[in-house]
Protein backbone atom coordinates (compact mmCIF):
# COMPACT_ATOMS: atom_id res chain seq x y z
CA UNK A 1 0.00 0.00 0.00
CA UNK A 2 1.27 3.49 -0.83
CA UNK A 3 0.18 7.11 -1.09
CA UNK A 4 0.94 9.40 -4.03
CA UNK A 5 0.56 13.17 -3.64
CA UNK A 6 0.08 15.46 -6.59
CA UNK A 7 2.56 18.33 -6.67
CA UNK A 8 -0.28 20.73 -5.85
CA UNK A 9 -1.62 18.69 -2.92
CA UNK A 10 1.80 18.32 -1.29
CA UNK A 11 2.60 22.00 -1.78
CA UNK A 12 -0.74 22.89 -0.14
CA UNK A 13 0.19 20.92 3.00
CA UNK A 14 3.53 22.73 3.21
CA UNK A 15 1.92 26.12 2.55
CA UNK A 16 -0.71 25.65 5.29
CA UNK A 17 1.95 24.48 7.74
CA UNK A 18 4.08 27.52 6.93
CA UNK A 19 1.19 29.95 7.41
CA UNK A 20 0.32 28.47 10.84
CA UNK A 21 3.91 27.73 11.85
CA UNK A 22 3.36 28.43 15.59
CA UNK A 23 0.18 26.38 16.05
CA UNK A 24 -1.48 23.12 15.04
CA UNK A 25 -3.31 23.15 11.72
CA UNK A 26 -4.53 20.63 9.16
CA UNK A 27 -6.64 19.92 6.13
CA UNK A 28 -8.54 17.33 4.12
CA UNK A 29 -7.50 15.15 1.18
CA UNK A 30 -9.46 14.72 -2.05
CA UNK A 31 -8.51 11.99 -4.48
CA UNK A 32 -9.14 8.41 -5.49
CA UNK A 33 -8.16 4.89 -4.47
CA UNK A 34 -7.01 2.40 -7.09
CA UNK A 35 -6.16 -1.07 -5.79
CA UNK A 36 -3.55 -0.43 -3.07
CA UNK A 37 -2.62 3.10 -4.16
CA UNK A 38 -4.16 6.25 -2.69
CA UNK A 39 -3.89 9.20 -5.07
CA UNK A 40 -4.18 12.54 -3.23
CA UNK A 41 -5.00 15.15 -5.88
CA UNK A 42 -6.14 18.14 -3.78
CA UNK A 43 -5.64 19.31 -0.21
CA UNK A 44 -8.43 21.45 1.27
CA UNK A 45 -7.45 24.09 3.82
CA UNK A 46 -9.21 23.95 7.24
CA UNK A 47 -11.15 27.21 6.90
CA UNK A 48 -11.22 30.69 8.46
CA UNK A 49 -13.28 29.64 11.50
CA UNK A 50 -11.00 26.76 12.47
CA UNK A 51 -9.48 26.71 15.95
CA UNK A 52 -5.67 26.94 15.85
CA UNK A 53 -3.80 26.41 19.14
CA UNK A 54 -0.36 25.10 20.06
CA UNK A 55 -1.69 21.65 21.02
CA UNK A 56 -5.22 21.67 19.62
CA UNK A 57 -6.86 22.04 16.23
CA UNK A 58 -10.46 21.92 14.98
CA UNK A 59 -11.78 22.19 11.39
CA UNK A 60 -14.30 24.76 10.15
CA UNK A 61 -16.80 22.08 9.09
CA UNK A 62 -19.19 24.28 7.14
CA UNK A 63 -16.39 25.85 5.14
CA UNK A 64 -14.61 22.57 4.36
CA UNK A 65 -17.82 20.87 3.19
CA UNK A 66 -18.53 23.78 0.87
CA UNK A 67 -15.00 23.81 -0.54
CA UNK A 68 -14.87 20.02 -0.95
CA UNK A 69 -17.90 20.15 -3.24
CA UNK A 70 -16.54 23.09 -5.22
CA UNK A 71 -13.08 21.63 -5.78
CA UNK A 72 -14.17 18.02 -6.34
CA UNK A 73 -16.55 19.05 -9.12
CA UNK A 74 -13.81 20.81 -11.10
CA UNK A 75 -12.42 17.43 -12.13
CA UNK A 76 -13.68 15.27 -14.97
CA UNK A 77 -13.72 12.30 -12.61
CA UNK A 78 -15.15 13.72 -9.41
CA UNK A 79 -12.73 13.51 -6.50
CA UNK A 80 -13.69 11.88 -3.21
CA UNK A 81 -12.87 12.73 0.38
CA UNK A 82 -10.25 10.08 1.23
CA UNK A 83 -8.47 11.39 4.30
CA UNK A 84 -7.10 14.20 6.42
CA UNK A 85 -3.93 15.60 7.95
CA UNK A 86 -2.92 17.75 10.89
CA UNK A 87 0.20 18.95 12.61
CA UNK A 88 1.39 17.73 16.00
CA UNK A 89 3.78 19.61 18.28
CA UNK A 90 7.43 18.62 18.45
CA UNK A 91 8.20 15.03 17.47
CA UNK A 92 4.84 13.60 18.61
CA UNK A 93 3.96 11.48 15.56
CA UNK A 94 1.28 9.17 16.97
CA UNK A 95 -2.42 9.86 17.39
CA UNK A 96 -4.18 11.12 20.52
CA UNK A 97 -7.46 9.75 21.84
CA UNK A 98 -9.31 12.62 20.16
CA UNK A 99 -7.54 11.79 16.90
CA UNK A 100 -8.71 8.18 17.21
CA UNK A 101 -12.33 9.30 17.24
CA UNK A 102 -11.85 11.56 14.23
CA UNK A 103 -9.93 8.90 12.28
CA UNK A 104 -12.61 6.30 13.02
CA UNK A 105 -15.25 8.62 11.60
CA UNK A 106 -13.34 9.21 8.36
CA UNK A 107 -12.38 5.54 7.96
CA UNK A 108 -16.06 4.64 8.22
CA UNK A 109 -16.95 6.74 5.17
CA UNK A 110 -15.60 4.17 2.68
CA UNK A 111 -14.85 0.47 2.66
CA UNK A 112 -11.14 1.07 2.00
CA UNK A 113 -10.81 3.15 5.18
CA UNK A 114 -8.96 6.47 5.11
CA UNK A 115 -5.54 8.11 5.02
CA UNK A 116 -4.50 10.14 8.06
CA UNK A 117 -1.25 12.11 8.03
CA UNK A 118 0.70 13.76 10.83
CA UNK A 119 3.06 16.69 10.19
CA UNK A 120 5.97 17.43 12.49
CA UNK A 121 8.74 20.02 12.43
CA UNK A 122 11.59 18.62 14.51
CA UNK A 123 13.42 20.68 13.29
CA UNK A 124 12.67 19.84 9.64
CA UNK A 125 9.28 19.35 7.99
CA UNK A 126 8.29 15.68 7.82
CA UNK A 127 5.18 13.57 7.25
CA UNK A 128 4.08 10.33 8.89
CA UNK A 129 1.43 8.66 6.76
CA UNK A 130 -1.03 6.14 8.19
CA UNK A 131 -3.74 4.00 6.66
CA UNK A 132 -6.76 3.78 8.99
CA UNK A 133 -8.91 0.65 8.77
CA UNK A 134 -12.08 -0.07 10.72
CA UNK A 135 -12.66 0.08 13.59
CA UNK A 136 -9.47 2.07 14.25
CA UNK A 137 -6.41 0.15 13.13
CA UNK A 138 -3.30 2.04 12.02
CA UNK A 139 -0.62 1.03 9.57
CA UNK A 140 2.30 3.24 8.56
CA UNK A 141 2.75 3.43 4.79
CA UNK A 142 5.16 5.09 2.39
CA UNK A 143 4.41 8.06 0.19
CA UNK A 144 5.68 9.64 -3.01
CA UNK A 145 5.14 13.02 -4.64
CA UNK A 146 4.74 13.81 -8.34
CA UNK A 147 2.09 14.33 -11.00
CA UNK A 148 3.99 11.92 -13.26
CA UNK A 149 3.11 9.10 -10.82
CA UNK A 150 -0.64 9.73 -11.12
CA UNK A 151 -2.90 8.40 -13.92
CA UNK A 152 -4.03 11.23 -16.22
CA UNK A 153 -7.71 10.43 -15.59
CA UNK A 154 -7.43 11.67 -12.00
CA UNK A 155 -5.77 14.96 -12.94
CA UNK A 156 -8.07 15.83 -15.85
CA UNK A 157 -10.39 18.82 -15.32
CA UNK A 158 -13.86 19.19 -16.80
CA UNK A 159 -13.61 20.66 -20.29
CA UNK A 160 -15.03 24.06 -21.30
CA UNK A 161 -17.42 22.19 -23.61
CA UNK A 162 -18.89 20.29 -20.67
CA UNK A 163 -19.46 23.51 -18.73
CA UNK A 164 -21.03 25.15 -21.80
CA UNK A 165 -23.42 22.22 -22.11
CA UNK A 166 -24.36 22.55 -18.43
CA UNK A 167 -24.92 26.30 -18.85
CA UNK A 168 -27.17 25.72 -21.84
CA UNK A 169 -29.26 23.20 -19.92
CA UNK A 170 -29.55 25.55 -16.95
CA UNK A 171 -30.54 28.62 -18.94
CA UNK A 172 -32.52 27.51 -21.95
CA UNK A 173 -34.13 24.13 -21.43
CA UNK A 174 -37.86 24.69 -20.95
CA UNK A 175 -39.48 21.59 -22.39
CA UNK A 176 -39.31 18.02 -21.18
CA UNK A 177 -37.89 15.37 -23.46
CA UNK A 178 -40.61 12.75 -23.99
CA UNK A 179 -38.36 9.98 -25.28
CA UNK A 180 -38.11 6.85 -23.14
CA UNK A 181 -34.58 6.11 -21.92
CA UNK A 182 -33.03 3.83 -19.28
CA UNK A 183 -32.36 5.28 -15.84
CA UNK A 184 -31.91 4.37 -12.21
CA UNK A 185 -35.10 5.05 -10.24
CA UNK A 186 -35.23 8.24 -8.14
CA UNK A 187 -37.86 6.72 -5.84
CA UNK A 188 -35.60 3.73 -5.13
CA UNK A 189 -32.68 6.05 -4.41
CA UNK A 190 -34.71 8.13 -1.95
CA UNK A 191 -36.19 5.03 -0.33
CA UNK A 192 -32.67 3.76 0.27
CA UNK A 193 -31.62 7.02 1.98
CA UNK A 194 -34.77 7.55 4.00
CA UNK A 195 -33.89 5.49 7.12
CA UNK A 196 -30.78 7.65 7.58
CA UNK A 197 -32.78 10.88 7.25
CA UNK A 198 -34.88 10.51 10.40
CA UNK A 199 -32.55 12.60 12.56
CA UNK A 200 -32.84 15.40 9.98
CA UNK A 201 -36.61 15.74 10.26
CA UNK A 202 -37.73 19.37 10.26
CA UNK A 203 -41.19 20.09 11.67
CA UNK A 204 -41.12 23.90 11.87
CA UNK A 205 -42.99 26.22 9.51
CA UNK A 206 -41.19 27.20 6.32
CA UNK A 207 -41.71 30.89 5.59
CA UNK A 208 -41.30 32.51 2.19
CA UNK A 209 -37.89 34.25 1.99
CA UNK A 210 -37.78 38.03 1.58
CA UNK A 211 -35.26 37.88 -1.29
CA UNK A 212 -36.23 37.67 -4.94
CA UNK A 213 -37.24 34.28 -6.31
CA UNK A 214 -34.17 34.27 -8.56
CA UNK A 215 -31.81 34.91 -5.62
CA UNK A 216 -33.45 32.19 -3.52
CA UNK A 217 -33.34 29.62 -6.33
CA UNK A 218 -29.67 30.42 -6.91
CA UNK A 219 -28.90 29.77 -3.23
CA UNK A 220 -30.68 26.42 -3.40
CA UNK A 221 -28.98 25.38 -6.64
CA UNK A 222 -25.55 26.31 -5.24
CA UNK A 223 -26.23 24.06 -2.27
CA UNK A 224 -27.60 21.02 -4.14
CA UNK A 225 -25.39 21.16 -7.25
CA UNK A 226 -22.91 18.59 -5.92
CA UNK A 227 -25.68 16.04 -5.32
CA UNK A 228 -27.24 16.79 -8.72
CA UNK A 229 -23.95 15.90 -10.41
CA UNK A 230 -23.42 12.85 -8.21
CA UNK A 231 -26.91 11.49 -8.85
CA UNK A 232 -26.74 12.06 -12.61
CA UNK A 233 -23.09 11.38 -13.44
CA UNK A 234 -22.21 8.63 -10.97
CA UNK A 235 -25.50 6.96 -10.03
CA UNK A 236 -27.20 7.35 -13.40
CA UNK A 237 -30.46 8.97 -12.26
CA UNK A 238 -31.94 10.93 -15.14
CA UNK A 239 -34.33 13.61 -13.95
CA UNK A 240 -35.38 17.20 -14.47
CA UNK A 241 -34.35 19.85 -11.96
CA UNK A 242 -37.27 22.25 -12.04
CA UNK A 243 -37.10 25.82 -10.75
CA UNK A 244 -40.38 27.58 -10.05
CA UNK A 245 -40.97 30.70 -7.97
CA UNK A 246 -38.73 30.33 -4.89
CA UNK A 247 -38.48 26.54 -4.99
CA UNK A 248 -36.48 23.86 -6.77
CA UNK A 249 -37.50 20.24 -7.35
CA UNK A 250 -36.06 16.99 -8.64
CA UNK A 251 -38.66 15.45 -10.95
CA UNK A 252 -38.54 12.02 -12.58
CA UNK A 253 -41.43 10.81 -14.73
CA UNK A 254 -41.43 7.02 -15.06
CA UNK A 255 -43.77 4.47 -16.57
CA UNK A 256 -45.04 3.92 -13.02
CA UNK A 257 -45.64 7.56 -12.08
CA UNK A 258 -43.88 10.78 -11.10
CA UNK A 259 -41.41 11.17 -8.23
CA UNK A 260 -40.63 14.63 -6.82
CA UNK A 261 -38.19 15.94 -4.21
CA UNK A 262 -38.80 19.61 -3.33
CA UNK A 263 -36.21 22.05 -1.96
CA UNK A 264 -36.82 25.34 -0.11
CA UNK A 265 -34.64 27.95 1.61
CA UNK A 266 -34.80 28.80 5.33
CA UNK A 267 -33.74 32.43 5.35
CA UNK A 268 -33.53 32.83 9.13
CA UNK A 269 -31.13 29.87 9.47
CA UNK A 270 -29.43 30.21 6.08
CA UNK A 271 -30.18 26.54 5.40
CA UNK A 272 -31.90 24.45 2.75
CA UNK A 273 -34.65 21.95 3.51
CA UNK A 274 -36.12 19.28 1.25
CA UNK A 275 -39.45 17.48 1.19
CA UNK A 276 -39.99 13.87 0.16
CA UNK A 277 -43.34 12.11 0.45
CA UNK A 278 -44.75 14.83 2.70
CA UNK A 279 -41.87 14.91 5.22
CA UNK A 280 -39.40 17.82 5.54
CA UNK A 281 -35.69 17.31 6.24
CA UNK A 282 -32.70 19.60 6.78
CA UNK A 283 -30.29 19.47 3.86
CA UNK A 284 -26.55 20.12 3.72
CA UNK A 285 -24.17 20.18 0.76
CA UNK A 286 -23.46 16.69 -0.58
CA UNK A 287 -25.59 14.89 2.00
CA UNK A 288 -27.22 12.48 -0.48
CA UNK A 289 -23.81 11.34 -1.72
CA UNK A 290 -22.45 10.99 1.83
CA UNK A 291 -25.41 8.90 3.01
CA UNK A 292 -25.34 6.76 -0.13
CA UNK A 293 -21.66 5.85 0.36
CA UNK A 294 -22.23 5.13 4.06
CA UNK A 295 -25.17 2.81 3.32
CA UNK A 296 -23.36 1.16 0.42
CA UNK A 297 -20.46 0.33 2.76
CA UNK A 298 -22.72 -0.86 5.58
CA UNK A 299 -24.76 -3.07 3.22
CA UNK A 300 -21.52 -4.70 2.06
CA UNK A 301 -20.55 -5.30 5.71
CA UNK A 302 -24.02 -6.57 6.68
CA UNK A 303 -24.37 -3.86 9.32
CA UNK A 304 -27.90 -2.64 8.53
CA UNK A 305 -31.34 -3.91 9.40
CA UNK A 306 -32.97 -6.42 7.07
CA UNK A 307 -35.25 -3.97 5.26
CA UNK A 308 -32.47 -1.48 4.54
CA UNK A 309 -30.22 -4.30 3.33
CA UNK A 310 -32.98 -5.48 0.99
CA UNK A 311 -33.52 -1.92 -0.30
CA UNK A 312 -29.78 -1.61 -0.82
CA UNK A 313 -29.56 -4.85 -2.79
CA UNK A 314 -32.58 -3.89 -4.92
CA UNK A 315 -31.08 -0.48 -5.63
CA UNK A 316 -27.68 -2.00 -6.45
CA UNK A 317 -29.39 -4.35 -8.90
CA UNK A 318 -30.97 -1.34 -10.57
CA UNK A 319 -27.58 0.33 -10.83
CA UNK A 320 -26.19 -2.74 -12.54
CA UNK A 321 -29.10 -3.26 -14.91
CA UNK A 322 -30.23 0.34 -15.48
CA UNK A 323 -33.39 -1.16 -16.91
CA UNK A 324 -36.15 1.28 -15.95
CA UNK A 325 -37.67 3.46 -18.67
CA UNK A 326 -38.31 7.11 -17.87
CA UNK A 327 -39.47 10.32 -19.47
CA UNK A 328 -36.75 13.06 -19.36
CA UNK A 329 -33.77 11.79 -21.28
CA UNK A 330 -31.11 14.14 -19.91
CA UNK A 331 -30.56 15.99 -16.68
CA UNK A 332 -31.22 19.69 -17.04
CA UNK A 333 -32.26 22.71 -15.02
CA UNK A 334 -35.59 24.07 -16.19
CA UNK A 335 -36.53 27.66 -15.45
CA UNK A 336 -40.29 27.17 -15.58
CA UNK A 337 -40.99 30.61 -14.10
CA UNK A 338 -38.55 33.29 -15.26
CA UNK A 339 -40.37 36.18 -13.56
CA UNK A 340 -39.93 37.22 -9.93
CA UNK A 341 -43.31 38.04 -8.45
**Same domain assignment for residues 206 and 81:** no
**Angle CA(43)–CA(225)–CA(317) in degrees, nearest 5?**
95
Number of structural domains the chain divides into: 2
| Residue 323 binned pLDDT confidence (cut-offs 50, 70, 90) | very low
User: Is residue 200 over pLDDT 50?
Assistant: yes
In a domain, 166, yes or no: no
**Same domain assignment for residues 88 and 12:** yes
- Give the end of a domain, one of 155, 186, 214: 155
**Same domain assignment for residues 259 and 216:** yes
The answer to whether the beta carbons of residues 169 and 333 sit under 8 Å apart is yes
Quick: pLDDT tens for 59-100.
Answer: 888 788 788 878 988 898 888 899 999 999 899 999 999 899
The DSSP code sequence of 193-235 is HGGGGGGGB--S--PPPSS-HHHHHHHHHHHHHHHHHIIIIII
The DSSP code sequence of 91-140 is T--S--HHHHHHHHHHHTTSTT-EEEEEEEESSSEEEEEEEEETTTEEEE
In a domain, 160, yes or no: no
How large is the average pLDDT for residues 151-177? 72
CA distance 145 to 23: 25
- Residue 78: per-residue pLDDT: 80
As to burial, measured by CB atoms within 10 angstroms (0-12 exposed, 13-18 middle, 19+ buried), residue 291 is middle
In a domain, 161, yes or no: no
In percent, the amount of the chain with pLDDT more than 70 equals 80
Q: In the predicted model, what is the mean pLDDT of the chain?
A: 82
**Same domain assignment for residues 27 and 69:** yes
CA distance 228 to 44: 22
- Give the end of a domain, one of 105, 125, 155: 155
Quick: pLDDT tens for 216-244.
Answer: 998 898 888 888 888 887 788 888 888 88
**Same domain assignment for residues 147 and 183:** no
| Residue 315 binned pLDDT confidence (cut-offs 50, 70, 90) | low
**Same domain assignment for residues 146 and 203:** no
**Same domain assignment for residues 144 and 180:** no
Q: Which domain holds residue 326?
A: 175-335
- Residue 162: per-residue pLDDT: 76
Query: What 3-state class would DSSP assign to 147?
Result: helix
Beta bridge partners, 33, equal 38
How much is the pTM? 0.61
- Residue 19: per-residue pLDDT: 93
Residue 16: enclosing H or E segment and its boundaries? Answer: helix 7-19
- Residue 339: per-residue pLDDT: 41
In a domain, 298, yes or no: yes
**Same domain assignment for residues 136 and 179:** no
- Helix ranges, 212-301 (H): 213-229, 287-301
**Same domain assignment for residues 100 and 141:** yes
Amino acid sequence: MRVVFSDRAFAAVMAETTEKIKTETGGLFLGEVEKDTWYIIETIDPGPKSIFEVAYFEYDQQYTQHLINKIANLYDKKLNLIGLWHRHPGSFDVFSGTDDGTNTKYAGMRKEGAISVLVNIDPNFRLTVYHVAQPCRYKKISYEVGNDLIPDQYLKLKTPERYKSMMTNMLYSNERNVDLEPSVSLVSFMRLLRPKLKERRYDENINKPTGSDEEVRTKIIDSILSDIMFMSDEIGIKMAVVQEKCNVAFVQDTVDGTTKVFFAYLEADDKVVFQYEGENYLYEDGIFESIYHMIHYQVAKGGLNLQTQEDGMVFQKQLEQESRKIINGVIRLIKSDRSDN
